[in-house]
Amino acid sequence: MTVSMYTVSIPVFIQHLIGLNTVLDKAATWAAARKVNETDLLNMRLSPDMFNLARQVRAATDHAANATARLSGKEPLKFANDETTIPQLKDRIAKTIDYLKSIKQTEIDGSQSGQTRQFTGQSLLLGNSLPNFYFHTTTAYDIVRQCGVEIGKRDFMGTPPT
């Protein structure tokens, strides 16, 4: 059975970006209720040598958008990488989802054997982009959870796109 490159990329990215958006919503609500400074929350990290929450969100959106651009041959999204608030990060997620939704299945399927730098399309997606995407979405979730925000696996998983 052949697996569609589109099916294992675009819907997966969208589902987990929706989950990341939900995690940020709950983090914002939690911070407001406890009068936690949003900047302090966005600067939280799991370890001193790891990216902070804001940078984890940026990295997750970058991996989703850049993989999509490389596989489809489209121009990648450009961000200023200067988001300092949860609404700005949520806007970045929304723009990334819109970009992903603009890609047609025919633009991704068949890309598994094409070369993108030192990768084939399949090795880029399965060996680099998806693992990095999951790492950064999971780490963002973990930072928020570590702060005490009541979130769970369903929040992380998001809603599969229809």
pTM for the whole structure: 0.93
DSSP state of 111: G
The reported pLDDT for the residue numbered 115 is 54
Residues 6+ apart with CB under 8 A from 28: 38, 86
Domains annotated on the chain, with CATH: 10-157 (1.20.120.450)
**pLDDT, mean of residues 104-110:** 91
Report the alpha-carbon distance of residue 62 to residue 7 in Å, rounded: 19
With cut-offs at 50, 70 and 90, classify the pLDDT of residue 112. low
Residue 35's CB is within 10 A of a number of other CB atoms, namely 6
Report the alpha-carbon distance of residue 83 to residue 90 in Å, rounded: 10
Q: Which residue carries 């949520």 as its tokens?
A: 90
| Helix %, strand %, coil % of the chain (to 5) | 65, 0, 35
Does the structure show a pLDDT above 60 at 21?
yes
